[in-house]
């Protein structure tokens, strides 16, 4: 697993992490809960890949786990969905 500093730069995210992050963002913008199952269904990524990405993104502060859902962590750039 990469350290938190390396995850602070969006360019350090893998393609799968970016896909998972964008799915969580889209669900959050629509005020829908972002669960691992919904993210997997939206992205066509396997459950294991999604869970690994959610864990890495949470450890890096990009996502905040809230029970079995995920919300966006602090960021300094806008989202347009």
Task: Indicate the domain borders of the chain.
Answer: 4-64
Among 18, 20, 70, residue whose Cα is nearest residue 40: 20
Q: Measured between alpha carbons, how far apart are the two ends of the chain, in Å?
A: 29
Comparison of pLDDT for 7 and 11, the residue scoring more: 11
Report the half-sphere exposure of 43 (CA within 13 A, side-chain side).
29
> Considering the chain, what percentage of its residues have pLDDT values greater than 70?
78
pLDDT digits (tens, 9 = 90+) for 13-40: 999 999 999 999 999 999 999 999 999 9
Claim: this prediction has a pTM higher than 0.85: no
pLDDT digits (tens, 9 = 90+) for 33-71: 999 999 999 999 999 999 999 999 999 999 999 999 999
């Amino acid at each position: 697993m990469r350290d938190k500093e390396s995850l602070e730069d969006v360019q350090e995210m893998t393609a799968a992490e970016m896909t998972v992050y964008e799915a969580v963002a889209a669900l959050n913008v629509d005020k829908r809960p972002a669960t691992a199952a919904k993210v997997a269904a939206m992205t066509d990524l396997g459950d294991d890949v999604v869970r690994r990405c959610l864990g890495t993104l949470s450890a890096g502060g990009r996502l905040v786990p809230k029970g079995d859902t995920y919300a966006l962590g602090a960021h300094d750039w806008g989202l347009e969905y």
